[in-house]
Chain A
Amino acid sequence: MVKTDRFVALIIIGVSIYLYTRTGRFLDETSVDPISAAFFPRAILIALMACSAWLVLKSKMPPAVFPAPAGVALGAVQIVVYVMLIEPVGYFIVTPLFLLIFPATLGYRRWGWLAGLALGGTVLAYGVFTRVLGVPLPMGVLENIGGLS
């Protein structure tokens, strides 16, 4: 873990330095406030850099990257694709596909249960959110087919 600690700490330091340079653009209105709008973010960034530097010093091994396992990467891709498609394509098309494909990629192969979860889960969540809680879900291409949202 020490190897990854150093890697993560160096990333945090890099991002902190970049964000610190951005604080120069904050509106400075010290007539209103004895300290400026940049004071707090700068104090936090300095503390963040100091803590991360300490973490670097604590870890004695060379930096290395530990990639996420393939399963997690595949899951992350499916989640991102679902988020990308839910609004333009619509909840009723992408949700059952997501609930069918995602468990299958995780190794679940009882297709009857999967189909049940995909369809039942989609209808149940729609019912709870839209009908019970009054939260409209994106209908996408089905928007004009009538009465769904």
Chain B
Amino acid sequence: MIEHILLGLHAIGNLPALIAIMAGVVLGILVGVMPGLSASTGVALLVPFTYTMSPVASMLLLVSLYMAGEYGGSITSIAIGTPGTPAAAATLFDGYKLTEKGQPGMALGTSVVASSIGGIIGACVLLVFSEPLARVAISFGAAEYFALAVFGLTIISSMSGNSLLKGFIAMLIGLLLKTVGLDPFTGGERFTFGVAKLMDGISFIPALIGLYALSQVFIGIEQLGTKLSAKAHYSYKVPGIKQLAKLWRVILQSSIIGSVIGVLPGAGATITSFICYNEAKRFSKTPEIYGTGCLEGVAAPESGNNAVVGGALIPLLTLGIPGSATAAVLIGALMLHGLLPGPMLFVHNADLVYGIFCGLFVACFFQLIFGLAGIPLWIKIISTPRALLLPAIAAIAIIGAYGKDYSMVDVWLMTGFGFLGYFLRKYKFPVTPVILALVLGGILEENFRRALIMSDGSYGIFFTKPISLVLLIMAVLSLGSPLIMKKLARGKPG
């Protein structure tokens, strides 16, 4: 373990890596601050900037953005009562109340400290549990990988909003898109319609940018009427050590809850925030203060949703299964550098894996510094006119898609996916299952067919192998887990 940590420290102990972490943190806070932009959109938009970076620097940049994006959402929640990201919705209950009392600095200070501690605890969980899990996964065969992909796809149940059916339809669209190109076993063309570029399949990066970033531009145009502005006359006095020390139990409890939930595929930061808020209130000696503007009500969801990041990276790095929407985007970034997430990453790219682990700790430190120092600036940025922001996002998306292979086919694909994403969102179909299916569709089909070749066509192979069977049972349970999570998260805050 020590030797691996030293390897990780070596990977991040250079100027480009530290700059990447710093840039990721600053951009993450910016993305989180701007309502409508989420960490997943931010990561998708930033992927094109990593084309020529080293894998370590690019992953540090994106993972830091992921971490800081979760914190950044709380700034908007606290300052203007509109969550910057869905995960920051629970922070609003007490955070905005503190702002109304004229103390946004207290809330923002608590938020950044709790977020950073939560992030560190999540990173510790990641560091301790990843390697043992990867060691188990290294023995997986085709049947196990098929079952794992099925399990991974069940994440859609928690990403489907009010309609699981629409989530399924979105997932099936993604799986269908993944079949475009040359068949991996026979070499025959499937749905290429004579376009040579499509023989390699649908490029993941243009799909990612289109579905997350360009579609967000169209949605943003629809929402242009809503005006957001932050008042500037409040006191930005941050909490002192003594005030923060009183929150240690809430922060620790929420961070542990967040790390554990983060590991569960699909549970995500939003549900975690609500669970942490409710659990903090339930265990509090003074539950009546929650919802009136108490620091505990800010610390609980913020430490929880940042701890999720470390937890969500465990299934991503060890099994190749994204634990959240942003993690699905991160898989795309890894694939861009020719790296396949999964247990072999620990064998062949240990420097990258442990660099990410160590980088998360450093990102938490930078988040604390930039988060505290930049409070007045972040609040000003909330008022950035979206009429300026949206065209800039569109231009970056287009140039970014072109930059991958210098191909206009990719740009058109990205544009097409942008329209697809817009229509999916507009008609209340979730977008993430499409991406998830694009990530897992290949693993699903190839291992399904490989397993059947090995078993001479017998489907029993999926049920007679213990790990495969357990994963398939877990997949069934995972489909029902959001209902349990929602039940846990329910309960009237405030």
Contacts and interface: CB of A to CB of B under 8 A. Distances in A.
Interface in A43-90: 44-45, 47-48, 51-52, 54-55, 58, 66, 68-69, 71-72, 75-76, 79-80, 82-83, 86-87
Contacts of A137: 399, 402-403
Contacts of A22: 191
B396 A125 contact: yes
Residue among B169, B214, B419, B453 with max Cβ neighbours from chain A (10 Å): B169
Contacts of B51: 133, 135
B394 A79 contact: yes
Interface in B435-494: 445, 448-449, 452-453, 456-457
Contacts of A66: 426
A19 interface: yes
Nearest to A41: B179
Nearest to B456: A34
A12 interface: yes
Contact of B185 (A32, A117, A125): A32
Interface stretch (B247-255, B352-360, B383-391): B383-391
A58 B330 CA distance: 36
Contacts of B14: none
Contact of B166 (A28, A40, A55, A98): A55
Given A83-B412, A83-B415, A107-B387, A51 B165 contact: yes
A41 to B, nearest CB: 5
Given A1-B428, A29-B185, A137-B402, A103 B52 contact: no
A93 interface: no
Contacts, number: 174
A65 B217 CA distance: 22
A141 B343 CA distance: 49
Contacts of A29: 185-186, 188
A33 B391 contact: no
B136 interface: no
Contacts of B168: 47, 51
Given A55-B165, A79-B418, A44 B387 contact: no
B172 A47 contact: yes
A128 B183 CA distance: 38
Nearest to B53: A133
A33 B457 CA distance: 9
A33 B186 contact: yes
Contacts of A111: none
Given A33-B186, A72-B218, A138 B402 contact: yes
A64 to B, nearest CB: 12
B105 to A, nearest CB: 29
Given A1-B427, A5-B427, A125-B399, A103 B217 contact: no
Contact of B398 (A34, A76, A83, A113): A83
Contacts of A37: 183, 185-186, 188, 190
Interface in A23-40: 23, 26-29, 32-38, 40
Interface of A: 1, 4-5, 8, 12, 19, 22-23, 26-29, 32-38, 40-41, 44-45, 47-48, 51-52, 54-55, 58, 66, 68-69, 71-72, 75-76, 79-80, 82-83, 86-87, 91, 95, 98-99, 102-103, 106-108, 113-114, 117, 121, 125, 128-129, 133-138
Given A34-B449, A121-B395, 6 more contacts: A87-B408, A91-B399, A99-B391, A103-B390, A133-B51, A134-B52
29 contacts: A5-B427, A19-B191, A27-B189, A29-B186, A33-B449, A34-B449, A35-B452, A40-B179, A40-B445, A41-B179, A48-B172, A48-B173, A54-B165, A58-B165, A69-B221, A72-B221, A75-B394, A82-B394, A83-B408, A83-B412, A87-B408, A98-B395, A102-B390, A102-B391, A114-B388, A117-B388, A129-B403, A133-B49, A138-B406
